[in-house]
């Protein structure tokens, strides 16, 4: 793995660290290429049970690499809308794969998550933040629209009116406000952030991977489908889960008064 991302494993947990702190973990070409490779690898990993995604150097991600964008303009390397659409298509490709990983994705956010970095954070299933974390949909400040899947993700997390306000103003949301508006699940100290994320991931490793995958698939459609469609998906998924070995073992443990394998705290 190159320096854009660092991927390490602890059993079924994949820890992904964005590690270009000199550029505030901006989405350089190298980091984008690493994300494509890592997502491809993880989607084919049958032993994967959870993912923790974080930044380095006290920054989650500053989003797009504005210096590189300006350099491309000056060098005449940006040919027009077609060039931008192509780059956005590649961005959407690996972000879609991150969002759709069939396991829990926990984003541990320390420091700024700005622009597309905000979008990367919102691709997680659970967001936990350090007390120095901050969030900013700053696109309006550079004459751009929100990207990084924020049009989809942010209204679903904080509501449409709040998402519009953040899009329109480009203001910074600190950790305390992020917790208050439901953007993050927990706020902890900087020192406790990664240990807490890994603790969550370890607990989730004991859950049924089939049940988690199906739950994530259906929950992802909860605000798009009507009740009847969701009931149909629920019935199909439950038929699979209740026929699984994991479910039978869980019933056995319950009747024998043994503690459950999965007990999230």
Residues 20 and 33 placed together within one structural domain of the fold = yes
pLDDT confidence band for 43 (50 / 70 / 90): very high
Q: Is 262 inside a domain boundary?
A: no
Q: Identify whether 264 is part of a domain.
A: no
List the structure tokens of 164.
């519009």
The neighbour count for residue 55, using CB atoms within 10 Å, is: 28
Task: Tell whether the model's pLDDT for residue 243 goes beyond 90.
Answer: yes
Identify the pLDDT of residue 67: 66
Residue 102 shares a structural domain with residue 148: yes
134-182 per-position pLDDT tens digit: 999 999 988 999 999 999 999 999 999 999 999 999 999 999 999 999 9
Determine, yes or no, domain membership for 129: yes
Do 85 and 195 sit in the same domain of this protein?
A: yes
**CB contact at 8 A, 110 and 60:** yes
Residue with tokens 């997390």: 157
CA distance 63 to 117: 4
- Clarify whether residues 171 and 226 are in a common domain: no
Q: Are 104 and 228 contained in the same domain? A: no
Residue 179 lies in a domain: yes
CATH of the domain at 145: 3.90.226.10
**Do 108 and 145 share a structural domain?**
yes
Same domain, 90 and 218: no
* pLDDT value of position 69: 61
- Helix (H/G/I), strand (E/B), else coil: 16: strand
Residues 99 and 217 placed together within one structural domain of the fold: no
**Number of domain units in the chain:** 2
What is the reported pTM? 0.92
Q: How confident is the model at residue 77 (pLDDT cuts 50, 70, 90)?
A: low
Same domain, 197 and 219: no
Whether residue 80 is found in the same domain as residue 179: yes
Give yes or no for residue 74 having a pLDDT over 60: no
| Residue 261 covered by a domain | no
Say yes or no: 9 and 26 in one domain.
Answer: yes
Q: Nearest CA to 116 among 150, 73, 76? A: 150
Confidence of residue 82 (pLDDT cuts 50, 70, 90): confident
DSSP 59: B
Cα dist. 158→133, 153, 166, 220 in Å? 17, 9, 10, 15
* CATH code of the domain covering residue 246: 1.10.12
Residues 6+ apart with CB under 8 A from 233: 217, 218, 221, 225
**Which of 166, 187, 204 is the C-terminal boundary of a domain?**
204
| pLDDT (0 to 100) of residue 90 | 92
Is 105 domain-assigned? yes
Whether residue 223 contacts residue 198, with contact meaning beta carbons closer than 8 Å, is answered with no
What is the rounded CA–CA span in Å between residue 252 and residue 244? 13
* Residue 187 main-chain phi, psi, to 5 deg: -125, 130
User: Within this chain, do residues 68 and 175 fall inside the same structural domain, yes or no?
Assistant: yes
Residue 1: per-residue pLDDT: 45
Q: Which domain holds residue 48?
A: 5-204
Residues in a beta bridge with 173: 135
Quickly count: other Cβ atoms within 10 Å of residue 227's Cβ. 7
Closest CA to 185 of 264, 134, 135, 125: 125
């Amino acid at each position: 793995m190159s320096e854009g991302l660092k991927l390490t494993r602890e059993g079924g947990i994949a820890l992904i660290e964005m590690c270009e702190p000199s550029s505030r973990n901006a989405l350089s070409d190298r980091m984008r290429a690493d994300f494509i490779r890592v997502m491809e690898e993880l989607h084919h990993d049958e032993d994967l049970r959870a993912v923790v995604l974080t930044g380095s150097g006290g920054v989650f991600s500053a989003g797009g690499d504005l210096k590189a964008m300006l350099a491309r303009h000056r060098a005449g390397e940006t040919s027009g809308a077609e060039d931008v659409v192509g780059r956005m298509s590649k961005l959407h490709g690996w972000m879609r794969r991150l969002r759709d990983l069939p396991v829990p994705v926990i984003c541990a956010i320390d420091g700024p998550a700005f622009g597309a970095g905000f979008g990367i954070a919102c691709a997680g299933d659970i967001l936990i933040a350090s007390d120095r974390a901050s969030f900013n949909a700053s696109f309006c400040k550079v004459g751009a629209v929100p990207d990084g899947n924020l049009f989809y993700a942010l209204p679903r997390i904080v509501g449409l009116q709040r998402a519009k306000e953040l899009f329109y103003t480009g203001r910074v949301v600190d950790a305390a406000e992020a917790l208050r508006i439901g953007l993050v699940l927990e706020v902890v100290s900087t020192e406790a952030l990664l240990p807490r994320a890994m603790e969550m991931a370890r607990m989730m490793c004991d859950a049924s991977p089939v049940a988690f995958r199906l739950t994530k698939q259906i929950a992802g459609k909860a605000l798009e489908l009507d009740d009847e469609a969701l009931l149909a998906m629920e019935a199909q998924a439950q038929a699979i889960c209740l026929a699984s070995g994991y479910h039978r073992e869980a019933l056995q443990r319950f009747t024998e008064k043994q503690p459950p394998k999965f007990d999230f705290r």
